[in-house]
Amino acid sequence: MDLYREILLDHYKNPRNFGKLKDADFEHKEFNASCGDEISIAVKLDASRKRVAELKFIGKGCAISQAATSMLTSHAKGKTLEELHNITKEDIFKMLGTEVGAGRIKCALIGLKTLMRGVEQWEGEKHG
């Protein structure tokens, strides 16, 4: 088994930032109807309201969706909201470090979609 698959499986079996987050500034949930993956991400911002102080996710689904979201939440912690907007699907594929088949692209990106929709809704409510 190559190193990237081992890392992916480790994030699936031992997800980082998994669980509920009390006093979140915002939370968003997405569901992938094509495969049943579900992800909910809660974010607590720092005092400036511009940087991620803490974030957690809960969800269920395939190894790719869970591992990608675990990797994403580790990557996103401490980032500014502006920096979050710059995370691309290519960044997620790079984090996974392995080929993602066409049928699994939505699985790999559900965490990013969830996080970004949450950020956009929060910004729209607070800064609109």
pLDDT class of 4 with cuts at 50, 70, 90: confident
pLDDT over 90 (residue 25):
yes
- Strand, coil or helix: 25: coil
User: Which fold is adopted by the domain 3-121?
Assistant: Sufe protein. Chain: A (3.90.1010)
The arithmetic mean of pLDDT across residues 56-82, rounded, is 96
Helix, strand, coil shares of the chain as percentages rounded to 5?
A: 50, 20, 30
Is residue 46 over pLDDT 80? yes
Mean pLDDT in residue range 119-125: 94
pLDDT at residue 21, as a whole number:
97
pLDDT single digits (tens) 71-92: 999 999 999 999 999 999 999 9
Report how far residue 74's alpha carbon sits from residue 86's, in angstroms, rounded to the nearest whole number.
16
Nearest of 120, 114, 122, 119 to residue 59 by alpha carbon: 114
d(CA 78, CA 100) in angstroms, rounded, equals 27
What is the arithmetic mean of pLDDT over 1-14? 86
Confidence of residue 127 (pLDDT cuts 50, 70, 90): low
pLDDT at 1: 52
Give DSSP secondary structure letters for 72-114. HHHHHTT-BHHHHHT--HHHHHHHHTS---GGGHHHHHHHHHH
Sequence-distant (6+) residues with CB within 8 A of 105 are 89
Return the residue matching tokens 């909910």. Answer: 40
